[in-house]
Amino acid sequence: RVSSDGKPPKFQPPPKPVIIDRKTQKEERRFLSPEFIPPRGRTDPLKHYIERKDMIQRRKVFNIPEFYVGHVLAVTTADPYASDKSNRFVGICIQRGGKGLGATFVLRNVIEDQGVEICYELYSPRIQAIEVLKLEKRLDDNLTYLRDALPEYSTFDVNMKPVSRMEHEEIPVNKLQVRMKPKPWSKRWERPKYNIKGIKFELPEHKMKAAQKWNQPWLEFDMLREYDTSKIEEKIRKELSEELEK
Amino acid sequence: MMPIWTKSGEKHAVTLLKVQDCHVLRYVSKEESGGKTAKLLVGGKNVSPFSKPESAHEIFVEAGVPRKQKVTTFNVTDDAIIKPGTPLYAAHFRPGQFVDVTAKTIGKGFQGVMKRWGFKGQPASHGQTKTHRRPGAISTNQAAKVYRGKKMPGKMGNIYRTSFGLKVWRINTKHDIIYVNGSVPGHTNCLVKVRDSKLPTYKDCNKNPPFPTFFADGDEELPEDLFDEEIFQFTDPSVTYT
């Protein structure tokens, strides 16, 4: 090129490359439902494989959405004794238990000042629809302490509209600290065994200190309790993605 | 064990039993055995031949089969005799059939009278001196002896027991697995003997079973999974009531 002055053109550095880390973004979003991970035991892996085939078969016909403890779900089941033969229940998911086909989740709601908890089986054929109304994770894996919390924390509107959400956003964590009813509680939630971070303890200092007496700090170093599921999870994720694409 | 749902939405628990390398080992005729019917010796799971002497391998060498961990006898009518050496598969049973399952129960070791026989024991307080789980009296005064078979502490479990009349819900021909209703004696992965039920209510239950057994090299081609009529299959949509 010929510049107007006759001098060589000013050096323009090339534009800096913008690195879009698509790989890490995609990896973080993968979710594996906890009932697919086989428990540690002496059962034949063939049994888990056959159970997984049945679970995948059910998931192809009926969509089970991704949900965690703390989400608000609406479940419609077939009920032979109801007038229009179906029953809809809205509630917050307190805990998810069981492995394989018998996996369950418990929904809690307070209806007309009466606390109601219903335990549903994920793979039961009577369930007709599961909708996720509100997506939010909580600070704990197990929200059973809501039974001893003030009822306002467990009430959810039965006709709540589903909260819209983008697919790429991360699931928000609600750092709500729940206020409890006066003691006695169904379980001593202040003890370190339950490791609850979602309660605002209004107990006096000496009681909180006394609860720490039951602390077992050696448990986190116990090697026999470690169950590393990363490799098993990888295999199962591969299997799932292959089967569901078919 | 696994849950299974029927078309009306009811849940039943089911045990999975795997048929692993079963072969017929020997035919014993009625006169030879001294019983009422002929017998067939059948062997289960394959095991290494090096832990037993050569004399113990005779039956297996005659049948042309590797050494089996367990050998059981089945009483068989004369028209159902099978040639020794034929393999047996899970497709021998069909869904809807009823079955008896025999196995050795879980061994609990030396156990006291409360766990072994269900005695009530004695109260925990109100003056009981060192007597909370003891049998108490073992006989009367007039008997002047202890009767034979008196329930007392001893080794519990590790004996053969049978559960009768279990329904077969489903059969997987590819992996040779039988889904049997309810629970079965024995621990996980123990050896189990499965037999057609001899209960009088289920005498005429089995219509057209594979007789004398299911032969893999025959003309019949079975699908991978055989289901009972009432089972909810996961390929169907969810259950609705009308």
Specify the CATH number for the domain of residue B97. Answer: 2.40.30
Sign of torsion, CA B93 B95 B96 B100? positive
What are the pLDDT digits (tens) for B133-187? 999 999 999 999 999 999 999 999 999 999 999 999 999 999 999 999 999 999 9
Q: Is residue B24 part of a domain?
A: yes
CB contact under 8 A, B235 and A57: yes
Tell me, what's the pLDDT at A58? 92
CB contact under 8 A, A126 and B189: no
Domains and CATH numbers, chain A: 62-215 (2.30.30.520)
Task: Please compute the mean of the pLDDT values over residues A47-53 and round it to a whole number.
Answer: 94
Terminus-to-terminus CA distance in chain B, angstroms? 32
Task: Please compute the mean of the pLDDT values over residues A54-66 and round it to a whole number.
Answer: 91
User: Are B36 and B120 in the same domain?
Assistant: no
CB contact under 8 A, B2 and A100: yes
What are the pLDDT digits (tens) for A169-187? 778 898 989 999 998 999 9
Tell me, what's the pLDDT at A25? 59
Domain range for B224: 1-19+93-125+159-237
Q: What percent of chain A has pLDDT over 90?
A: 61
User: Are B115 and B31 in the same domain?
Assistant: no
Distance CA(A180)–CA(A116), nearest Å, equals: 18
Task: Please compute the mean of the pLDDT values over residues A113-139 and round it to a whole number.
Answer: 92
CB contact under 8 A, B18 and A44: yes
CB contact under 8 A, B239 and A125: yes
Q: Is the pLDDT of residue A5 over 70?
A: no
Cβ within 8 Å of B, A 160-179? none
User: Are B97 and B200 in the same domain?
Assistant: yes
Tell me, what's the pLDDT at B118? 94
pLDDT band per the 50, 70, 90 thresholds, residue B128: confident
Helix (H) and strand (E) counts for chain B?
3, 13
User: Are B83 and B175 in the same domain?
Assistant: no
CATH (domain of B29): 3.30.160.810
Least Cα distance to B25 among B82, B92, B91, B103 occurs for B82
Q: Which of B3, B16, B232 sits opposite A47 (nearest CB)?
A: B16
User: Are B202 and B105 in the same domain?
Assistant: yes
What are the pLDDT digits (tens) for B5-62? 999 989 999 999 999 989 999 999 988 887 889 999 999 899 999 999 999 899 999 9
DSSP element (H, E) containing A188: none
Helix (H, G, I), strand (E, B) or coil at A52: helix
Return the residue of B nearest to A126 by Cα. B239
Q: Which of B2, B175, B240 sits opposite A101 (nearest CB)?
A: B2
Largest CA distance in chain A: 94
Tokens of residue A59, six digits: 């998931």
- Examine the fold and report which residue of B42, B60, B88 is the final residue of a domain before the chain moves on: B88
User: Are B14 and B38 in the same domain?
Assistant: no
Please tell me if residue A45 touches chain B, with a CB cutoff of 8 Å. Answer: no
Q: Is residue B145 part of a domain?
A: no
Tell me, what's the pLDDT at B205? 80
Q: Is the pLDDT of residue A92 over 60?
A: yes
Does this model's pTM top 0.90? My answer is no
Q: Is the pLDDT of residue B102 over 60?
A: yes
The amino acid sitting at B129 is: T
Please report residues of A whose CB lies closer than 8 A to that of B242: 85
User: Are B120 and B221 in the same domain?
Assistant: yes
What are the pLDDT digits (tens) for A14-33? 888 887 776 665 555 578 89
A220 phi and psi, to 5 degrees? -70, -15
Please tell me if residue A243 touches chain B, with a CB cutoff of 8 Å. Answer: no
Please report residues of A whose CB lies closer than 8 A to that of B238: 61-62, 78, 125-128
User: Are B175 and B229 in the same domain?
Assistant: yes
∠ CA B205-B211-B214 to the nearest 5 degrees? 110
State the number of CA atoms in the 13 A half-sphere of A98 facing the CB. 16
Number of domains in chain B: 2
Return the residue of B nearest to A55 by Cα. B234
Task: Please compute the mean of the pLDDT values over residues A189-205 and round it to a whole number.
Answer: 91
User: Are B83 and B115 in the same domain?
Assistant: no
User: Are B99 and B214 in the same domain?
Assistant: yes
The residues near B184 (Cβ < 8 Å, ≥ 6 apart) are B15, B17, B101, B103, B163, B166, B192
User: Are B68 and B166 in the same domain?
Assistant: no
User: Are B50 and B170 in the same domain?
Assistant: no
Q: Is residue B149 part of a domain?
A: no
CB contact under 8 A, B242 and A54: no
